[in-house]
Amino acid sequence: MKRPDAPFRKTSFPSAAMRTERHADGSLWVTPELALADYRPNLPQELAARAAAHPQKTYLAERRGGAEAPWYLASYGEVDQQSRAVAAWLLARGIPAGRSLLILSGNSVMHAVFKYGAMAARLPACPVSVNYALMGGDYGRLKHVIEMVRPAVVFAEQTPAFRAALESVDFGDAALVTDDPSLIAVTQGSGPVVATASVLATPAGTDVDASIASIDPDEASLYMLTSGSTSLPKAVIQTQRMIASNLAQGRQVLGDTAGWSDVMLDWLPWSHVSGAFTKMGTLTSGGTLYIDGGKPLPSMFAESLRNLKEIAPKFYVNVPFGYSMLADALDKDEELRQRFFGNLQLALYGGAGLPQALYNRFQQLAVDTVGERVFFTTGYGATETASGCMAIYFPTEEVGIGLPMPGLTLKLVPDGDRYEVRLKGPMITPGYLGHGEKNRAIFDEDGFWRTGDAAQLHDPADIGKGLKFAGRLAEEFKLSNGTWVAAGRLRASLVEAFAPLLGDFVICGENRERLTALTWPKTPVDDTLRTELSRRLGAFNVGRGASERVEALMLLAEPPRADAHELSDKGTINQRVTLLRRAADVERLESGQPDPRIVRPS
């Protein structure tokens, strides 16, 4: 599909002009000319200020009781009062330094209340993916996190959902806070089990005010977990200064166009930085966030579509697979198209590159519906940068990772035909919990954090056109002949070449003679599809060397499974976990033996 020709809906972005310095070692240092706007590095104070300014305004909304339930609306005043009660309860326990609050709850009003309460009490909070507690087994990842962050309190809101984990895992002396303690079998030697309502009934006095006022902007406030795609997750230390400066970047660059002071709808998990950013970004903008209980999964997307018809936000965020599912739904539902595009001002994708064909399809739907294209943005960031710290906020139709937002300096270190990405600014983590002196190694001699990622300039002669992602250095591997393979970049190329027929790819070939890939068809497999995939694979390989030529694809019926840790909360595939779990498929693919699931180039 060709790119549609129509004007873009009006946007309001600040200047994206950059200062660029080339250093003797060949590195490029790129800094926005625009300075970072002022911000308050104390979110509990920010919440109190918003509650004082408009106590009755809805801050968070959720459906309590399932997808058919009405919205429960929690005001700024209510969230502030309840978080202060949590802080008072935590302060009364006299929790020593070195402990934390573990949050097992999914996205909810109470999740936010306990997180802000922990911040106010100066107790680091660690939100954990609900998958760690809901998938059973030996709870290995949950136990690993408990050992790392040493919780003094565990908040698991929905007792029936988390009962098995709460009764099976040793939380030491941690107090368990949950809706219905009567359902939990308390074992000897464990901490108390306390009702959520009891905690919220705690009166908050001047001790809470004093605690909030004494917050050090550079002390640990959150422990956010890495995805753990190549190893067990690490706990990234996030400070109030990190979080607040990153939120200020987003407001300054995207806030006006996105309408963060208005109404938001979002599903991204708060155990991940992107979802946490939306929750806190809405707070600092004084907006209202509706918590979407759906997800970009076939079994859960219907709830998201229902919510989109009702809420119709100005700003929409999803991962590429979610946009693909949304495009399919928009094709079939005129009412949804009118509601969605009628209010939309800005769309953001993350987690992976957006295929150009999908971008074009989405824009054609917008043009057919409202006569205008919608500005798409994305960016770049990590758990170690609080959230996205680079973004597209300049005219472009190219898929990429954008340019630094105010407050960030980007260092590009030459690495062949690309650059290694390094970052410096107030939104960068001081390191990982428990790593001590080893944290120094994550920074280079100039104080830049080594991201481990690579990028390329869209136009080597014009930095203003932004950058594109060129792979994760940790995902690179060698073929048996010693040839290096940039697996991340190759995967992105395959996604683009096979859109919209195939969803995602896992690259195979480490220490082998040739490259192959596992993939998932988006439609039933028949001879017509196999013929087209064979043709596209042949065309893809033309002119490519051994490091990029894919000799075969295996079409898998079983999608990546979140309960096997193949799929992250944000919907991206953990490549290494998937390769290990599907080792038999990889061996079959590499063997060259006939198999109806295998497609070879024509």
Residue 520, token pair as written in the block:
């998932």
pLDDT-based confidence at residue 140 (cuts at 50, 70, 90): confident
Q: Residue 305, Cα to own-chain centre: how many angstroms?
A: 20
CA distances from 307 to 72, 310, 544, 568 (A): 14, 5, 45, 23
Most confident of 29-38, 61-70, 524-533: 29-38
3-state DSSP percent of the chain in helix, strand and coil, to 5: 35, 25, 40
Which positions ≥6 away from 148 have C-beta within 8 Å? 223, 234, 235, 433, 434
39-49 per-position pLDDT tens digit: 999 999 999 99
Whether the Cβ atoms of residue 309 and residue 80 lie closer than 8 Å to each other: no
What would the pLDDT profile of 484-521 be if each residue is shown by its tens digit?
788 877 888 898 899 888 878 999 988 788 899 999 99
SS3 191: coil
pLDDT at 175 over 80: yes
Q: Are 425 and 408 in contact (CB under 8 A)?
A: yes
State the pTM of this model.
0.84
Residue 522: which pLDDT band, with cuts at 50, 70 and 90?
Answer: confident
